[in-house]
Structure 1
Amino acid sequence: MPLSNRPGYLPLLLRGLLAGLAAGLLAGGFAYLAGEPHINAAIAIEEAASGGAGGEAPLVERDIQSTVGLFLATGLYGVALGGILATAYTLLRRHLRTGSDTQAALGLAAAALTGIVVVPFLKYPPNPPAVGNPDTIDQRTAAYLAVLALGLVAVWAAVLAARTQSHQWRRAAAGTAAFLVVVGIAYTLLPTFHEVPADFPATLLWDFRISSLGTQAILWTALGIGFAGLITPARQKATVTAA
């Protein structure tokens, strides 16, 4: 059966898109307040290192990029993630061992945050505009996509390992061990890039990275909570109607 024909998929998809839009705008607000000052500081360092030569004028002014462009990007990104979360919920809900729709939605969001945000961040933390070698962008992109995929594999392995055990503490231990094994192998096999200039301010670098991680954490947390909040009343209404 095509996914679009599954009962209840389109209403769930719409709720996912709405939750994603709200989460994206919320994350955009955090990025504007906590991240943009660090980006501006990094750009100033880059311009100072080049003697003030800014090169070609940007097609879009920096002020517009950091406001309209930022919120547009995070909003669209949130909508896309909301659609993905709703689709994953539709496909995986029956396989999740919980009777709570809220727990199911929050669990999927937490798994995504861990697999596609935290795992890649610890191996390849983001760098501000002034950091990075343009000659290695293809290698860095490929490595990032690889660690992202392996992060999801690690989450999947943790779930499978946990289900082999009957006791709560054994499930936690087995899941944690499987997750760490996959992540450890991924981190060992994937290349490491050292492209941060020695004279780049360490505080600025880590402030930027933490703000980037915070943006993603807020987006996925808000998306999970928003989606769970939107689907629970819908499920309850469907149950009452069916009764």
Structure 2
Amino acid sequence: MHAKAVVPRAAAAGAVGGVVAWLFSLVFAEPLIQAAIDYEGERGEAEAALDAAAGIAPPEEGAEVFTRTVQGVWGIGVGMILAGVALGLLFAVVYTLLQGRVSVRPRVLALLVAGAGFLTFYATPFVKYPASPPAVGHDETIGDRSGLFLVMVVGSVVFLVAAVFVARALRERLGAWNAVLVGGVAYVVLSGLLMAVLPSLGELAVNVATYGPAVGETPQPLRDPAGQIVFPGFDPDLLYSFRVYSITAQAIVWGLLGLVFGALAERATGSTSVAETRESVEA
């Protein structure tokens, strides 16, 4: 299938994945986001009370640009659909490069490319730096968190490419399945080494100053100067559920991208084959 035919189909498939993931997030993840925002507001009030008791003036708050309804419903929807389209365009590039070089049906190739995209762009980086709702993470660490996640994404992509080359080089010597197994082990080992080298979010300077050495950025119980807990830490069940729904939403985007594009690609190639057959018969 020509690249000009791949791109619009991939973008459309990505948009479908974005819409379904948005609806999923609206039902399952959005209530958790609201609960996290409520926690953040209530904790802020408790911190302000402690600051007032200590004679510290509260910081000025900026004006809200968009309402919570706009952010939680339409903002996330537009964002996920546009992200789905962008992933579809990236998918189209990889699919175009591989078609003709891999002797599998378009549907199978589409699922393989989508699976590889989900693995490298989200699942593997998620193991080291999982998604967090509002109230989990300092504003000062946003740049650091984004940079570390990007390093994991780039490393994951490079390691997958290296694993594919290893598998191809060993295919004749070990057989197809054993070569794939060796390549998979190489990918896991390299990804694990990168995770071990990169710092945890709890090791960032701001978090060490706030919580002491920790694994992540989850807010701990708020204590007064006497050491008494005046506000609880962030609910771990809420954090766990949010992360499960986050990775599920990404699986929906990539899964539908592969399934929908695969169906469209096979329909297009099937239509082409029928047309060519008719032309040859008529000739």
| Cα distance in 2 between the residues matched to 1:61 and 1:133 | 22
Partner of 1:162: 167
Q: Which amino acid aligns with 1:193?
A: L
| Cα distance in 1 between the residues matched to 2:164 and 2:21 | 28
| Cα distance in 1 between the residues matched to 2:14 and 2:185 | 32
CA-to-partner distance for each residue in 1:163-222, whole Å, 9 max, x for gaps? 223424412321221111210121122111122122111101111111111110111001
| Cα distance in 1 between the residues matched to 2:63 and 2:34 | 16
Partner of 1:183: 191
| Cα distance in 2 between the residues matched to 1:182 and 1:173 | 14
Partner of 1:218: 252
| Cα distance in 1 between the residues matched to 2:86 and 2:139 | 28
Matches within 5 A, 1:1-243: 8-51=2-45, 55-96=61-102, 98-163=103-168, 164-166=170-172, 167-194=175-202, 195-198=217-220, 199-243=233-277
Q: Which blocks of at least 5 consecutive residues in structure 2 are unaligned?
A: 49-59, 203-216, 221-232, 278-283
Identity between Structure 1 and Structure 2 (%): 33
Structure 1 residue 157: Cα displacement? 2.2
Would the aligned equivalents of 2:135 and 2:219 in 1 still touch at CA under 8 Å?
Answer: no
CA RMSD of aligned residues (A): 1.7
| Cα distance in 2 between the residues matched to 1:60 and 1:138 | 22
Structure 2 counterpart SS, 1:51:
helix
Would the aligned equivalents of 1:126 and 1:212 in 2 still touch at CA under 8 Å?
Answer: yes
Q: Which amino acid aligns with 1:108?
A: V
Higher radius of gyration, 1 or 2: 2
Would the aligned equivalents of 1:43 and 1:129 in 2 still touch at CA under 8 Å?
Answer: yes
Would the aligned equivalents of 1:126 and 1:209 in 2 still touch at CA under 8 Å?
Answer: yes
Would the aligned equivalents of 2:3 and 2:96 in 1 still touch at CA under 8 Å?
Answer: yes
TM-score (normalised: structure 1):
0.91
| Cα distance in 1 between the residues matched to 2:104 and 2:249 | 31
Greater CA drift, 22-31 or 130-139: 130-139
Greater CA drift, 40-49 or 53-62: 53-62
